[in-house]
Amino acid sequence: MKRLIPVAIAFLITSTFAFIACNKDHSTYRLNVKLTDAPADYEEVNVDIQEVKVKLRNDSSSWIGLTTNAGIYNLLGLQNGVDTFLATGTLPGNYVQELRLYLGPNNSIKVSGQTYPLLTDNGTQIKLMIKVNKVISKSLDSLTIDFDANLSVVDEGNGSYRLSPVMTIKE
């Protein structure tokens, strides 16, 4: 009987530590980001997406980079329920506060068979932020960005066009 007491105590201590270790929350959350567009009256509206980052709640300064399929996307090819896979990543938290797209300099528009550059105000790299404020699920969740080409292009009236992005998160 005296030998059973130390064995039982050791078993209890080991079981307690194993229970605590198994119940610790080492959660990560998987997020996919997709891109789509509403109809517009142009032949092409091309945006040069270089990177996608997210910001989690209560994380005032850190942006988490997602694995991004960088490239030039014709928004008008992403209409009527069509979307494209843009980025993915694993996040240490489940509340996405903001999403940021980094655009490169190769943005253009095609009107009446002619291609024009889409001018921007911010130089060569543009950072576009979207408020998300969404809890993502434990397994896999997706956010779809609706980049509204019709509202995002401003005809300057002198043969030039300006990109003034209008984007929303589609539910």
**What does the pLDDT look like over 73-129, one tens digit per residue?**
999 999 888 999 999 999 888 889 999 999 999 999 999 999 999 988 765 568 889
Query: For the whole model, what pTM was predicted?
Result: 0.78
Q: What is the pLDDT of residue 15?
A: 45
CB atoms inside a 10 Å sphere around CB 148: 19
The answer to whether the CB of 162 falls within 8 A of the CB of 151 is no
Q: What is the pLDDT of residue 76?
A: 93
Question: How do residues 127-150 score in pLDDT, each as one tens digit?
Answer: 889 999 988 887 778 899 999 999
Quick check: 23 pLDDT over 80? no
Q: What is the pLDDT of residue 17?
A: 42
Q: Which helix (H) or strand (E) element contains residue 70?
A: none
Q: What is the pLDDT of residue 26?
A: 56
DSSP label at residue 80: T
Query: Whole-angstrom Cα distance, residue 49 to residue 99?
Result: 13
Could you tell me which residue, 4 or 32, shows the higher pLDDT? Answer: 32
- For residue 20, give Cα distances in angstroms to 24, 29, 106: 6, 21, 53
pLDDT > 70 fraction of the chain, expressed in percent and rounded:
78
Query: Whole-angstrom Cα distance, residue 36 to residue 12?
Result: 56
